[in-house]
Structure 1
Amino acid sequence: MTNASSTVEVDLGGRLIEIPKDGLFDRYRMDVPLDEVAADPRVPSVGFFRRLPKTQVQSPIGTTWTPNFYYAMSSARLTMIAPSSAIRKRIPDELSPLEIAPGFGLVSVMLFRYDVCDIDFYTEAAVGVAVRPARHGGFSTAAADLVAALGDDHLHSYVLALPVNTEIAQVRGHDGYGFPKWVTDLDVGIDQARTTARISNADGGVDIAFSAPTPKQKTFETGKKVSTLTSYTRRNGAWLSTLNQTNILASGTSLFPGGVDLTLGNGRMSDDLRALRPIRTIRFDSTTSAQAALHMPVPVSVR
């Protein structure tokens, strides 16, 4: 068993970071044998990953394998309505908000807990907005885009804030993918009864805190419900798109949920969320069991 207090230093694209000694990344550098992962009691199965062969690629963080596999994870998403005018002020001009009604778009607070993955345990949270797919003009497709986004089939997003609680997740996410990541104390708990999170600010106080009853969970066979998320980022002036495929195993949804406690304190996440001016919560999704494959970003033309 890995000693959580024992670390080693590794080089990622010229940056020296500390990682857990004898953890999955220390031993396998993103190319973990699936048979070994399958022996971990926290991992439901590895069939989803056997159909996704890895490829070795060059990246700003050095030679790496893609996709990044998340073998056991949970997540949650609180979706709110916000004025499109506020969203447009917070996203690049090349992107357009996905509107739920004329003048109103969708913003989300997202929570993630990765119990077993190629870069070891970590948690993260996000403030993001739903955007129209790149180079996907035409109002005739707006309704279909909205149905897909709300149904979790294929959401396109632009992330404003994405704090994490480990250095390797920050370096890979920021330098390799172009996401606005930083390291902070970040606790996420998602179980059958309740979904909670606390994201700390730079002073150790509350940036965002969240608590809500977990919606009743429905289980799915592996591979039967796979959602996709395409995120747009810019790195060195170039646009990139990153694909994330999530194999949902147990999930539930509450529409116009009650009992949601979202506390905005002081910090980067709460500042971004306030600037978006959300006016109403319309949906809460909580996934107690899932797996994911996060692909390395590829160049994209957004217009």
Structure 2
Amino acid sequence: MKQFAELTQRLKRQRIALLTGMVLHAVAMPLWAQDASVPSATVDIAGHTVPVVAGGLYDRFHSNPPLSVIAAEAPDVDLSWFRGLAKTRVDIGFESYSPNFYYRNSRVTAVFTADLQRLRELMPAEVLAQVQPLQVWPGRGLVAFTAYAYHYCDNDSYNEVALSIVTSKPGHSSLGPISLAGQALSRDFWGYVLKLPVNTELARVRGVVGYNLPKWLTPIDYRETDKSLIFEIADSATGQPDVVFEAQKLDAPSSEPELVTNSFTNIGHDGELAYGYAVSRQLSHAASSDAAAVKLTLSQGSLSAYIQSLQLGRMLKYEYVPDFQSALYAPEPLARMLARE
């Protein structure tokens, strides 16, 4: 009870920080600002007045900071990969630049089996016409629960949690384990995003307006211990603790850089099918199939209830990626991709 009370108090403090828009500078840790002296500013994004860190990357450069600035502010970050990527100006409901750069980040992912029929019910008919949840055995599909800590990126710093259905690639047959193995070999993964809470209004507005993703604003606390990474998600309506995801730090992660692509299919604002993707450069990574490596604690909150409705089963894979970089590309019409195939 004492631990629960302490968690409740911590998340209440975060909620206050969230509502006042006071977050730390992009290079600071922890991600939530408890110091009210940190100045804030506002920017206009498609008619939304959005609080940002005054003098932060987004306030100064609106998704297009020169790499020379990043090199000066974060000299420990390897920018070699980003120097080979060109940004272009795009209109995604507001003026932005693609790809969006994430310079220093951490993530943990657990892939669970789930009720296949329930997964199909949660996907729009238009999306189901192009992709299917991958069936790993009769009646069971897969969902990926991923928690991100974006320590330093074009959008300052923030935390995010993604709950996604693992699907086939558009234009390809859904062959269950065969399709899954093919995606793993090519490091090209596809999904349909069900839930995507974030802890800054900047991340929420950009994701909803620009990508039509199911984002909402809620406190997400990220912390490390000597043995694990812990993400605590509050219920946005009550501010009470909702979901806690604790993931082990695996021993001896590989330091061999690895490129991975994660893509999603959804319906754009114009009602047409769209897709988006991010390419990640994983600088430190490890994986395990040991179910003891992760602990997903659910409560009485809305996200917990939603996850419970999926009837999660066995955890098939855990990915520990304490250090990665990423480039998130603007969404495009799915028909354009299919025409290129």
TM-score by length of 2: 0.81
Residue in 1 aligned with 2:97? 65
* Structure 2 partner of 1:127: 163
Distance in 2, matches of 1:27 and 1:219, equals 36
Question: How far did residue 102 of structure 1 move?
Answer: 3.3
Paired AA for residue 145 in structure 1: S
- Structure holding more helix per residue: 2
Residues 148, 271 of structure 1: alpha-carbon distance in 2 compared, 3 angstrom cutoff: farther
Mapped contact 1:173–1:181 kept (Cα < 8 A): yes
Segment drifting more, 203-212 vs 37-46: 37-46
Q: 1:291 to 1:191 in 2, by over 3 A?
A: farther
Residues 154 and 230, structure 1, Cα contact 8 Å, conserved in 2: yes
Structure 1 residues 225 and 259, CA, compared in 2 at 3 Å: closer, same or farther? closer
Q: Which residue of 1 aligns with 2:208?
A: 174
AA in 2 matched with 1:18: P
Which of 266, 270, 273 does residue 239 from structure 1 map onto? 273
State the aligned residue count.
Answer: 298
- Partner of 1:47, secondary structure, is coil
Do 1:90 and 1:276's aligned partners in 2 also have CA atoms closer than 8 Å?
no
Residue-by-residue CA offset, 1:119-167 (whole Å, 9 max, x unaligned): 100000011110111121264xx44421144568111011111000000
3-state SS, counterpart of residue 297 of structure 1 = strand
Note if 1:198 corresponds to 2:270.
no
What is the distance in 2 between the residues matched to 1:42 and 1:162?
A: 31
CA contact (8 A) 1:74 1:113 kept: yes
Please list the CA deviations of residues 167-214 of structure 1 after superposition, one character each: whole Å capped at 9, or x if unmatched.
010000011101100000001235773121100002111221111322
Distance in 2, matches of 1:114 and 1:43, equals 16
Q: Are the aligned partners of 1:198 and 1:209 in contact in 2 as well (CA < 8 Å)?
A: yes
Taking the TM superposition and a 5 Å limit, the aligned residue runs for 1:1-303 are 5-41=38-74, 43-60=76-93, 62-93=94-125, 94=128, 95-137=131-173, 139=175, 142-150=176-184, 153-189=187-223, 193-201=227-235, 202-221=237-256, 224-236=257-269, 237-301=271-335
Larger deviation, residues 9-18 vs 212-221: 212-221
209-218 or 44-53, which deviates more: 209-218
| In 1, Cα distance between equivalents of 2:75 and 2:309 | 39
Give distance in 1, aligned partners of 2:297 and 2:75: 31
Higher-strand-fraction structure: 1
SS at match of 1:19: strand
**Structure 2: 5+ residue stretches without partners:** 1-23
CA RMSD of aligned residues (A): 2.2
| TM-score for both structures, normalised by structure 1 | 0.91
Q: CA deviation at 1:78?
A: 0.8
Q: In 1, distance between residues paired with 2:112 and 2:186?
A: 15
2:168 partner amino acid: R
Q: Does the residue aligned with 1:99 lie in a helix, a strand or coil?
A: coil
Q: Displacement, 1:267?
A: 3.0
Give the 3-state SS of the residue equivalent to 1:37 in structure 2: helix
Equivalent-residue separation in structure 1 for 2:99 and 2:133 (angstroms)? 28
> How many percent of aligned residue pairs carry the same amino acid?
29
Letter paired with 1:84: L
Equivalent position SS for 1:296: strand
Deviation at 1:43, TM superposition (A): 4.8
Inter-partner Cα distance in structure 2 for 1:151 and 1:272: 31
Shift of 1:226: 0.4
